[in-house]
Structure 1
Amino acid sequence: MRVFVTGASGFVGSAVVKELINAGHHVLGLARSEAAAKKITALGADVHLGDLADPESLLTAVANVDGVIHTGFNHDFSKFAENCELDRKAIEAMGGVLAGTRKPFIITSAIGVLTSVDRLLTEDDKPSPASHNPRVASELAAGELVAKGIKVAVVRLPTTVHGEGDRSGLVPIMMRLATEKGYTAYKDDGLNRWPAVHVLDTARLYRLIVEKEYPAGTVVHAITEEGLYFKDIATAIGKRLNLPTESKSREAAPDYFGWFSHFAGLNCAASSQQTQAFFGWHPQHATLMEDLQGTVYFSEKK
């Protein structure tokens, strides 16, 4: 297959590109800069110059491939709502080109779009259109495309996608906060739960999806660890940085976490049993705690 990958130079996207090429597929990667283009070329993929903020620049690429994997997203969280809206527009534009075909269109969402419940979230759970999380726009756009007969699958990434090369995910953000403040922190008892997955397991799942015949509207959970306590993650980071870990009340937490306060309070433990059974996908790589205890996030063991 020839597959168009957005976000091809990013943390998840570059892993997907390598996974696809190693499996014998041809990849066309989206690049919005010369630096991104060089990285994509080095991975062994062809380059399409464009920008998610300019949906028209994506259409030619989408029209000339056998499938699309959309991992691109602007992770400037200071403009989170704006970036979610840009993602919605990009999804709509790419989907329009795929109308009337049976080409797979794999869209990326996040488990955090779901409302916290006192059970494991599953692939059957749907985000509320009235959600205060603007990331829900991606899934709502996907639903509109499914209604038009487009072969869409939605991949929900967990709170933490970890592994070598993670520089802008939530764990590095927690590390930077701890270094700046002089300690790590969690909200209240810290027993809110974050699911996790290794980036290489994630990449393999994207490949399995694009290769498999699936019903339009399929929802996929890229989750290998159902839910780690936030307190345990914060404590592990503090230990590696030789810093103490403290509890912050809900009222005091924003003073420590700032814009990150919402993410620090997420409680979204989730299952991927349906995903694993349907796609024959099972984790093969390190857990988050193994990565935190090793050299992935820290140059040497302490």
Structure 2
Amino acid sequence: MSASSKSVFLLGPGLVGRNVVDLLLVEGYSVTTLVRRESAAAELQKDGVKTIHGTLANSEVITKQTIACDIVFHIATADDLPSVQAVLEGVKFRAQAGQQTIYIHTSGTGLFGDAAMGQYKGERVYSDDKPHDIDALPDTAPHRTIDLTIIRARQELGSRVKVAIMIPPLIYGIQHKYKRLSIQLPTLARFALKHGYAGQVGEGRSVWSTIHVLDLARGYITLLHWLEKTSAVTVLENPYFFCESGDDIAWAEPIAVIGQALHAAGRIKDPAPKTIPEQDYKDLFGEFTPLVVGSNCRSRATRLRQLGWQPREKGVLESLRDDELPLLLQETGEFNGYTGVAAS
């Protein structure tokens, strides 16, 4: 079946998803997205994307659109169970009608974040060609409830669905056309602007793997093409795919870049990083702050590289300094911590 005859339903046409949409359109796929705002719908429609109005809470809408499509991407958030259940209901309906579905869900490497609190570099590195290491994670690990729901449905449906779970690390970078920012590093920069210093959890020694948003978008397309041409039996062997640049960084490194850039812009008095007191975690990610910007999360995208995918965008520190911080410094308004939904 040619790309032009395949229909895609994509949840989450934001920082990551919008770039995936663009790549799908270039290849001739018919794309429908779920959108909350009329302005977003107008932008997408202008590029030839079909839109349906709704939120992740609109389960009936999501199920109905899943039934109508051959391929589903869930890139909106790693932690919304009702929307995932709605997708799976649509997938099951299609299976009962003899239609196979490709479902690519987005999780995140917070799955295996530790309790380092920025005090040390973790030596454990997970690889996606070793699914048993991921399956051994506790059911209480971040994102795991959602992932297990998908895996159980996958086992039930067998060859009637091809499921993959993309597990990205720290996402950074911008697509200049849309000027959307990522989450973790910009949130730390906004915290610095509000509190007057570049803050880190503990000593900033914990390490995360990283991926540029455009490399990640290409990773999704590489994964899609593999699912399209691979037998359902083979797909069942391992649902996990990491996507990382090979550039692991200690949190102290981007914090130092943030301090230097904001000091040079005259926005903070001292560029030196400082440890964030726990009472101020409310201005970051609340109780999840130590996990999101203070843990160790290291991964290797062995499987995508075997499929020919390679990262090609600039590194995380260069991107932060040259692309994200200049855009962020144009923002106005009060900042009170991150409150949106995240891909990971």
Is the shorter-chain TM-score for this pair beyond 0.5, marking a shared fold?
Answer: yes
Please list every run of at least 4 consecutive aligned residues from structure 1 whose deviation after the TM superposition is greater than 4 angstroms.
Answer: none
Aligned partner of 1:130 in structure 2 is 139
TM-score by length of 2: 0.76
Query: Which of 132, 145, 168 is equivalent to 1:157?
Result: 168
Partners in 1 of 2:301 and 2:151 — Cα distance?
A: 20
Give, in angstroms, the shift of residue 291 of structure 1.
Answer: 0.8
Tell me the SS of whatever aligns to 2:214: helix
Output the amino acid matched with 1:246.
Answer: P
Aligned partner of 2:337 in structure 1 is none
| Structure 2: gaps spanning 5 or more residues | 1-5, 115-121, 330-344
TM-score by length of 1: 0.86
Output the amino acid matched with 2:254.
Answer: I
Aligned partner of 2:255 in structure 1 is 234
Aligned partner of 1:66 in structure 2 is 70
Q: How does 1:1-302 map to 2 (within 5 A)?
A: 1-8=6-13, 10-73=14-77, 84-99=80-95, 101-116=99-114, 118-123=123-128, 124=131, 125-126=133-134, 128-133=137-142, 135-148=143-156, 149=158, 150-164=161-175, 165-167=179-181, 169-212=183-226, 213-214=229-230, 215-216=235-236, 217-242=238-263, 243=268, 244-248=271-275, 253-258=277-282, 259=286, 260-277=289-306, 279-299=307-327
Higher CA-based Rg: 2
Range 32-41 or range 292-301, more displaced:
292-301
Tell me the SS of whatever aligns to 1:225: coil
Partners in 2 of 1:172 and 1:236 — Cα distance?
A: 12
Contact in 2 for aligned 1:226/1:271 (Cα 8 Å): no
Partners in 2 of 1:120 and 1:280 — Cα distance?
A: 21
Contact in 1 for aligned 2:67/2:91 (Cα 8 Å): no
Distance 1:15-1:194 versus aligned 2 partners, 3 A rule: same
Range 164-173 or range 90-99, more displaced:
90-99
Identity across matched positions, percent: 23
Alignment: residue pair count: 287
Distance 1:300-1:131 versus aligned 2 partners, 3 A rule: closer
Partners in 2 of 1:97 and 1:226 — Cα distance?
A: 42
Give, in angstroms, the shift of residue 46 of structure 1.
Answer: 1.2
Distance 1:230-1:168 versus aligned 2 partners, 3 A rule: same
Contact in 1 for aligned 2:70/2:100 (Cα 8 Å): no
| Aligned-residue CA RMSD (Å) | 2.4
Range 113-122 or range 90-99, more displaced:
90-99
Give, in angstroms, the shift of residue 101 of structure 1.
Answer: 3.6
Give, in angstroms, the shift of residue 95 of structure 1.
Answer: 3.5
Partners in 2 of 1:240 and 1:52 — Cα distance?
A: 37
Contact in 2 for aligned 1:194/1:230 (Cα 8 Å): yes
Partners in 2 of 1:161 and 1:93 — Cα distance?
A: 33
Distance 1:154-1:198 versus aligned 2 partners, 3 A rule: same
